[in-house]
Structure 1
Amino acid sequence: MPSVKNPNGPSKNRLAVRAAKVKRLRQKQSAEGKNKISKADMTRGARPGLLPTSGPRAKLSGKKARKLEKKMNYALKRQTRAEGEVEMKDAPEIDEEERKDVGEEEMEGVR
């Protein structure tokens, strides 16, 4: 009786591909456990030291960053107006010399 391999089993090539696939998945899972990058971010291209290219954690472009900065400044202005902090436009401006004089007088009284 000739020693022939079972014809119904997987070929060597298929076995090698299956083993490589399992190895690749195992490496990927262990890499995800080492760094604290979420799975959703990993699918968007995030790697250790790199942010994802899309989604909420993606890096902002320069244009979007400038727009966001403007919006934040406007929000701060609205907030200060609501709190009642207003610039005093009619108040006299104090020169730096007068400020120094005021500070020296206070220091003389401390001695």
Structure 2
Amino acid sequence: MANVKNPNRISKNRQAARAAKARKANLKRCNPANQDKVAKADRTRGARPGLLPTSGPRKAISKKKARKLEKKMGYELKRRMEAEGEAVMK
């Protein structure tokens, strides 16, 4: 037999612990620092949600690369229009 007043319900200590755990989880989930998806290690190095990295897949494209991509997209658009029969390529 359990050595408590009522074995069919949670003790006040366990109730308080469960509430504290839930409160802590909610605070963690609602923290704006967690919503911007910047890793903690990156935050310690100074990364912020508005700043893009200087390397990696999310870095800003250089102006030269942007011009080249713009040309490629233009050519692709012309090819697509020609395939549909709207314009003739020279």
Rg: which structure is higher? Answer: 1
- TM-score, normalising length from structure 2? 0.48
- Relative contact order higher in (CA < 8 Å, ≥ 6 apart): 2
